[in-house]
Amino acid sequence: MSEAALFDTVKYKTRKMEPGDSFPESLYPEILRGINSFPKVLFYKGDIVTGLFDNCVAVVGSRNMTMYGRTVTRNLVSALCAGGITVVSGFMYGIDATAHASCVEFGGKTVAVMPCGIEMIHPPRQKDLYMDILQNGGLVLSEYDEEFPPCVWTYPRRNRIVAGLCKAVLVVEAGEDSGSLITAGFARKYGRRVMAVPGPVTSLVSAGTLKLIKEGADMVCSAEDLMRLLGHGKGQVIGEHFVETIENNLNKLSTKIISVLGKEPLDISMLSKILEIDIPLLSVEMTNLSLAGVICEREGMYYVS
Amino acid sequence: MLVKINSIAVLGVDVVRVTVEVNIASRGFPSFDIVGLPNKSIAESKERIKTAIQNSGIEFPSSKKITVNLAPAGMPKEGTFYDLAIATGIVCASKGIKPPEDSMFFGELSLDGSLRHTKGAFLAALYLEDIGLRSIFLPLNSANEAAVFTGINVYGLSTMGELVSHITGKMQLAPYKNAAIDTRSKHVSTQDSEVVGQEYAKRALEIAAAGGHNVLLIGSPGVGKTMLSRMFSGMLAPLTQQESHEVTKIYSVTGKIPPGGSLITARPFRAPHHTVSYAGFIGGGNPIRPGEISLAHRGVLFMDEFTEFHKDIIEALRQPMEEGKVTITRSSMSVELPCRFLLLAACNPCPCGYLWHHKNKCKCSVPDVERYRKKLSGPILDRIDIVCRMRDFELKSPDQNVLSSHDSHGNNSEIKMVIDRIYAAHKIQEKRFDGVGTVLNSEMTNMQVGLHANLSVEAKVLLNRAVESYGLSARSYFKIVKVARTIADLGGAGDIEPPHIAEALQYKTSTL
């Protein structure tokens, strides 16, 4: 592993907790002790605030996140943060990283369970996110010490901790052979609630979540669904409600663009065909909408943000 | 007797005057020597010259000591065009006649005494007056190249014998008259313009063609990147006379003008394969020859599969793209070659190519894609004015509007309109930069941007807002203004208004 992956241990000291600790009061999460293969020792960085492990929900998903997955993750995590629920995930890029990042952004509590030694950052290029988590009162956990490298078998073992810490696991996007399905499998084994977000049947990264729903997982279509399933009433979403207010001030063409993009994300050529508007004129409108923050572009596709 | 004949030596795309001194001495051991750092092709010319003179029915002074010096003697010389100069010198020296005054002799000899088409004739004629000469004798096949200049006498020869008759006064040669040849490629064929959909990319290429802006097309295999690029060469406006001279110079030196060919009037379109060598791309070798970037001067350098090119080659593009010239330095010499080209690059979104495809599954992991895109380094992307993502589209029903081109009657009036707009925009730019040396909007210096690209107040506000929210570099700022200038030119507008800026932003701000 590259040197960049090594973490500066001066600022955030590594501590450990064991299930047998009893003085003054065990930090080891009670809920994790409920699984039959609970880790004998856990290393962690950051502070364990009271109640951190009392109400945890895992938000996991595909590495190959789509814009849809990103939007949904942010939206649902914001509801979890508002409800004071701790968001647990696996720190992998894609949905996991988005879940952590959104949680930091919305001021919620988050726990990252690493597949490698506690002194390593994996994947290394997410160092900034790692620091963000710790600086905002989050927690980084691992059952491996030092610079134990991540390997094929540490990922599923990490997933068992993710599932074991939480009373429910939410899968946002997952391919057919995704590691998130392993997490969901553990959750089911441990008697935790499994929830999944549906997606288009044509999407490769929704194949796994749709499979979970077919097998009986709870379907989550909105923040309300999620909070109701978690027994939190209706719940609320922080921010994200600006589209309506801006919409009043938009001209006719912009309204048309938003309504079309609201149905499905499109690239500019297709949009011009559908709206029957020339590219130059449409480009001007797209720039204005992007600058207003109403739509956003990713890899050539336009989305309503 | 000693005879001095004028000739040149080629350095990159410039020439220096060389004097070919031929001395025939009766005393001394019979020999034929060429000195003055000739390379292999000149050293071998001894046999060609001797045989050609004999086969022309002229006596070769075999029993004399012949010494040829190429002065200045310290500079290495290369090229087969010295044949005629040396042969003329030998004939004149052996017959005791004076060679024609203020004349240059240029051309390669064949064993039968005829003259072959020789590279560099255009260059020789171009600098003829500069080095103080009036007439040039060269192969008939190369005469058309040289005869584009007025004020000089061009004599096209088919054999050595003709020259000797002319020198000895037996027969007077008439100066050659240029027969202009239109080398412009035929207009865009209908087939090439049948790229389905992709109106966004077509508009991007229209702007690029009008203002000479660099373009990057990204898209899955089969979306039409290569086809659009082929169409692009037909959308370009013809070269101006000044540009035509610059381009012909390079093509003449590299021997890319066919026998009987003349000025190049169509913009070059170079499409090197990604296995191209460094020297073949930038220029180099010994002697230094122009590479692909110089051959694309005033034209298009099309780099298909951009990410497959060697990293060194991609990075080497930085300075030439900015300056429009490349300086190649070797221990023995330094040569400056022009390379003001339009970069048209095309690549896939990921290693397997199907990241954005609606149906084919992408086999790349996220780090794979990131590694792939790292090849498009920041500095290179910063120099590309127009980034265009091409998505494939889902064919929903056979009669869907998407398949038919804009004009349902099957003719391509659309493309003709585009070409008309591009030509008109070129005319506007020609007028704007009259006599400044700049030709297209993309070449404007920052000072010229301030002079010619007047932004309305609203446009300025919009651009500043975009710079802030997208974190654009200073170079990007100017690039956007330049593209906006071209968009305004395409629409015939004087000042740059917010819509022009907004459209230009579309092509720049897209994140990679």
Q: Are B268 and B262 in contact (CB under 8 A)?
A: no
Residue B146 CB-half CA count within 13 A: 33
Residue spans of the domains in chain A: they are 3-229, 242-304
Looking at residue A129, what is its pLDDT?
92
Average pLDDT, chain B: 87
Average pLDDT, chain A: 85
User: Which pLDDT tens digit goes with each residue over B347-403?
Assistant: 998 998 888 887 788 888 888 888 888 888 778 888 888 999 888 765 544 444 444
Please indicate whether, in this complex, the C-beta atoms of A63 and B366 are within 8 angstroms of each other: yes
User: Which pLDDT tens digit goes with each residue over A27-50?
Assistant: 888 898 888 889 988 999 988 888
User: Which pLDDT tens digit goes with each residue over B324-341?
Assistant: 999 999 887 889 999 999
How far apart (Å, rounded) are the C-alpha atoms in residues B488 and A280? 11
Q: What is the ipTM of this complex?
A: 0.73
DSSP state, B190? T
Whether the upstream peptide bond of residue A123 has omega within 30° of 0, thus cis, is yes
- Determine the average pLDDT of the residues in B170-176: 89
**Domains along chain B?**
2-168 (3.30.230.10), 199-425 (3.40.50.300), 444-512 (1.10.8.60)
Residues of B with CB under 8 A from a CB of A: 197-203, 218, 349, 355-356, 358, 361-362, 365-367, 389-391, 393, 401-402, 462, 465-466, 469, 487, 498-499, 501-503, 505-506, 509-511
Strands A168-171 and A218-219 come out as unpaired
Please indicate whether, in this complex, the C-beta atoms of B200 and A279 are within 8 angstroms of each other: yes
* Beta carbons within 8 Å of A199's beta carbon, 6+ residues apart: A68, A69, A173, A205, A206, A209, A210
> Which candidate, B75, B100, B81, B77, places its Cα nearest to that of B4?
B100
* DSSP of B11-26: ETTEEEEEEEEEEEES
User: Which pLDDT tens digit goes with each residue over A111-134?
Assistant: 999 999 988 888 888 888 999 999
Looking at residue A216, what is its pLDDT?
92
Dihedral over Cα of A115, A120, A122, A128: its sign: positive
> Which candidate, A115, A114, A117, places its Cα nearest to that of A148?
A117
CB atoms < 10 A from the CB of B413, how many? 11
What is the chain A residue with the closest CA to B402? A273
Q: Is B41 left (phi over 0), alpha (psi -120 to 50) or beta?
A: alpha
For residue A149, give the amino acid letter. Answer: P
Query: In sequence order, which ranges of B411-471 are alpha helices (DSSP H)?
Result: 413-432, 446-452, 457-470
Dihedral over Cα of B363, B366, B367, B368: its sign: positive
Which one is the CATH code of A242-304: 1.50.10.10, 3.40.1210.10, 1.10.10.10, 2.40.50.100? 1.10.10.10
* DSSP of chain A: --GGGB--TTTS--EEE-TT--SSS--S-HHHHTSTT--S-EEEES---TTTTTSEEEEE--SS--HHHHHHHHHHHHHHHHTTPEEEE---TTHHHHHHHHHHHTT--EEEE-SS-TTB-SSGGGHHHHHHHHHTT-EEEESS-TTPPP-TTHHHHHHHHHHHH-SEEEE----TT-HHHHHHHHHHHTT-EEEE----TT-GGGHHHHHHHHTTPEE--SHHHHHHHTT-TT----S--HHHHHHTT--HHHHHHHHHHHHS-EEHHHHHHHHT--HHHHHHHHHHHHHTTSEEEETTEEEE-
Q: Cα–chain-centroid distance for residue B270?
A: 8
Q: Are A27 and A17 in contact (CB under 8 A)?
A: yes
- Determine the average pLDDT of the residues in A80-90: 92
CB atoms < 10 A from the CB of B425, how many? 26
The CA-based angle B278-B379-B478, given to 5 degrees, is 125
Nearest CB to A267: which of B365, B389, B466?
A: B389
User: Which pLDDT tens digit goes with each residue over B237-293?
Assistant: 888 888 899 999 999 999 999 998 888 888 999 999 999 999 999 999 888 899 999
User: Which pLDDT tens digit goes with each residue over B48-79?
Assistant: 999 999 999 999 999 999 999 999 998 889 99
Looking at residue B113, what is its pLDDT?
94
How far apart (Å, rounded) are the C-alpha atoms in residues B383 and B322? 8
Nearest CB to A283: which of B367, B466, B502?
A: B502
pLDDT band at B183 (very low <50, low <70, confident <90, very high): low
How far apart (Å, rounded) are the C-alpha atoms in residues B484 and A193? 55
Virtual torsion, Cα A77, A83, A85, A90, nearest 10 deg: 0
Distances (CA, A) of A116 to A1, A131, A142, A149, A152: 11, 17, 7, 5, 11
Please indicate whether, in this complex, the C-beta atoms of A269 and B197 are within 8 angstroms of each other: yes
* DSSP of B260-307: T-----SPPEE---TT--HHHHHEETTTTEE-HHHHTTTSEEEETTGG
How far apart (Å, rounded) are the C-alpha atoms in residues B139 and B121? 9
User: Which pLDDT tens digit goes with each residue over A262-300?
Assistant: 888 888 888 888 888 888 888 888 888 888 888 888 888
How far apart (Å, rounded) are the C-alpha atoms in residues B293 and B320? 8
User: Which pLDDT tens digit goes with each residue over B400-433?
Assistant: 444 444 444 445 677 788 888 999 999 999 888 8
Please indicate whether, in this complex, the C-beta atoms of A291 and B469 are within 8 angstroms of each other: yes
Q: Are A283 and A49 in contact (CB under 8 A)?
A: no
User: Which pLDDT tens digit goes with each residue over B11-49?
Assistant: 888 899 999 999 999 999 999 999 999 999 899 999 999
Distances (CA, A) of A149 to A123, A152, B12: 11, 10, 56
CB atoms < 10 A from the CB of A78, how many? 23
Residue A236 CB-half CA count within 13 A: 7
Looking at residue B191, what is its pLDDT?
47
Please indicate whether, in this complex, the C-beta atoms of B506 and A268 are within 8 angstroms of each other: yes
Token pair belonging to B289: 């020859």
Contact residues, chain A, for B499 at CB < 8 Å: 280-281, 284
Report the percent of chain B where pLDDT is more than 70: 92
Whether the upstream peptide bond of residue A156 has omega within 30° of 0, thus cis, is no
How far apart (Å, rounded) are the C-alpha atoms in residues B503 and B471? 18
For residue B247, give the amino acid letter. Answer: V
- The residues facing B138 across adjacent strands are B156
How far apart (Å, rounded) are the C-alpha atoms in residues B152 and B135? 6
Looking at residue B378, what is its pLDDT?
76
Contact residues, chain A, for B510 at CB < 8 Å: 297, 300
Looking at residue B377, what is its pLDDT?
73
**What is the CATH number assigned to the segment(s) A3-229?**
3.40.50.450
How far apart (Å, rounded) are the C-alpha atoms in residues B265 and B199? 29
Over its C-alpha atoms, chain B yields an Rg (Å, rounded) of: 28
Contact residues, chain B, for A269 at CB < 8 Å: 197-201, 390-391, 393
Token pair belonging to A133: 């988590």
Q: Are B135 and B143 in contact (CB under 8 A)?
A: no
Report the percent of chain A where pLDDT is more than 70: 89
Whole-model pTM: value is: 0.80
Choose the mutation target among B391, B458, B480, B486 for the interface with A, i.e. most A CBs under 10 Å.
Answer: B391
How far apart (Å, rounded) are the C-alpha atoms in residues B349 and B372? 8
* Beta carbons within 8 Å of B220's beta carbon, 6+ residues apart: B348, B349, B353, B354, B355, B356, B357, B360, B390, B391, B392
Looking at residue A256, what is its pLDDT?
86
Q: Are A118 and A43 in contact (CB under 8 A)?
A: yes
Q: Cα–chain-centroid distance for residue B48?
A: 32
CA distance B415 to chain A (A): 15
Token pair belonging to B372: 């792939």
Q: How many CB pairs under 8 A join A and B?
A: 81
Over its C-alpha atoms, chain A yields an Rg (Å, rounded) of: 21
